[in-house]
Amino acid sequence: MFRPAPRASGYFRTDYAQDLALVQTRAERVSVVVVIFLLAGFPFLASPFALDLACQVFLASIGALSLMLLTGYAGQISLGHAGLIAAGAFTTGILAREINAPFWITLPASVVSGMLLGFVFGLPSLRLRGLYLAVSTLALHFVVIYLGGEYETKRGFSTGIIVEPPRLAGFKLSDGRGWYFVLLIAAALSLIVCINLLRSRSGRAWRAVHAREPVAEALGINIAGYKLLAFIISSCMTSVAGCLFAYYRGFVSIEAFDLFLSIQYVAMIIIGGMGSLLGALLGAAFVTLFPYAIEDLLGLLPDVQKLAGDIFAVNYAAFGVVMILFLVLEPLGLVGVWRRMQNYFLLWPFKHRPLAGLRK
């Protein structure tokens, strides 16, 4: 399978159930429990600002995971991700505003609109590849944005649509901690869905289509069907992210979904490391936290207030520089760095791993 070999020695898998289990060695079990503990305890220790950052990271990771599924595994380049998020957010906003729909209607509605839009975005992939596919998704993104803008103007929502926080049996979700847990669960669910998809028939089909399409077709895999499936599933997840975004921020407006957002998501999966779900998560965290880190670093400089206006242009430029550095120097992304660190500790005191198989 595509799972890495377990890292503890003296471990033998004796039946299929053990082989298929998500968490196998004792070390993995312990680390999963520790991570859950930390994540659950975080909101009680952190400042509201850090809580907001964490929520943003979780929201971003849902979108990043879906894009990783589409581009990293199925190999379909998509530059129109912001348009899909906008679709989910606008569906939520429109329904909430026009007919006062509660969230258990808007959420499935966002999924449905995501499916439809994903189908439309995916149609070019049946004929185009690589660059041309990317360009077609770009063009579709602009069309979606235009339609959103027209809706906003025609219906008089000049500064955006305000969305009330979701209610469930009288309990209103509007405080930081509540949102943290909701988004954490949403991100965890999308992660589990992605893992399951990749371990199943669809995942294998996508990897085959990505690697060698003619061979995949010869093996009997329905190329068209799986390409469309990749787009549809990916955009469903992205629409859900859009819906959550609308509720979390409390408003929807078309300016939030510009080309730069698409580029940020693509940067997330590339900086994180293509072809790895962990990479999507790391990339999402990196790209979301990066501007704040730059601001803090610049804040350490003396006499900063004088350059106040410049700081933000520096932020912009620094993002470009870091992206370039990652693309040029570290094509495997943050996951590559992570794996190098892991290998260092695993192999210590040896330096190099033997040629006979394992991860790069």
Rounded to whole angstroms, the Cα distance separating 267 from 286 reads: 10
Q: Which of residues 223-252 bind other proteins (CB under 8 A)?
A: 223-224, 245, 249-251
* Ranges within 72-111 binding other proteins (CB under 8 A): 77
325-354 residues in contact with other proteins (CB under 8 A) are 325-331, 334, 337
User: Residues 272, 240, 262, CA angle at the centre, nearest 5°?
Assistant: 45
Buried b (16+ CB within 10 A) or exposed e, 127-152: ebeeeebbebbbebbeebbeebeeeb
Given 309, 349, 354, 357, the residue binding other proteins (CB under 8 A): 309
Burial group, residue 205, by CB count within 10 angstroms (0-12, 13-18, 19+): buried
Rounded distance, CA 180 to CA 176, Å?
A: 6
Is the Cβ of residue 6 or residue 160 nearer to other proteins in the bound state? 160
Note whether 66 and 60 are within 8 A (CB). Answer: no
Question: Does the footprint of other proteins cover residue 129 (CB under 8 A)?
Answer: yes
Site membership for other proteins, residue 126 (CB under 8 A): yes
Name which position in 31, 153, 196, 342 contacts other proteins (CB under 8 A). Answer: 153
The span from the CA of 234 to the CA of 69, in Å, is: 7
Q: Hey, which residues between 160 and 179 contact other proteins (CB under 8 A)?
A: 160-162, 174
Q: Provide φ and ψ at 167, rounded to 5°.
A: -115, 145
Going by C-alpha positions, the residue among 122, 62, 32 that lies closest to residue 269 is: 62
Least distance CB 132 / other proteins (angstroms):
5
Query: Min. distance of Cβ 191 from other proteins in angstroms?
Result: 21
Q: Which of 104, 142, 344, 350 touches other proteins by CB under 8 A? A: 142
Query: What whole-number distance in Å separates Cα of residue 46 and Cα of residue 177?
Result: 10
Of the candidate spans 17-25, 95-103, 316-324, 344-352, the one that interacts with other proteins by CB under 8 A turns out to be: 316-324
Residues in region 184-223 near other proteins by CB under 8 A: 213, 223
CA 244 to chain CA centroid, nearest Å: 13
Length of the chain: 360
Least distance to other proteins from the beta carbon of 24, Å?
28
Under rule CB under 8 A, how many of the chain's residues touch other proteins? 90
Binding mask 267-306 for other proteins (x = CB under 8 A): x--x---------------x--xx-xx--xx-------xx
Amino acid found at 275: G
The answer to whether residue 124 forms part of the interface with other proteins (CB under 8 A) is: yes
* Residues of span 32-71 touching other proteins by CB under 8 A: 47-50, 52-53, 56, 71
**Among residues 131 and 355, whose Cβ is nearest to other proteins?**
131
Q: Tell the smallest beta-carbon distance from residue 52 to other proteins (Å).
A: 5
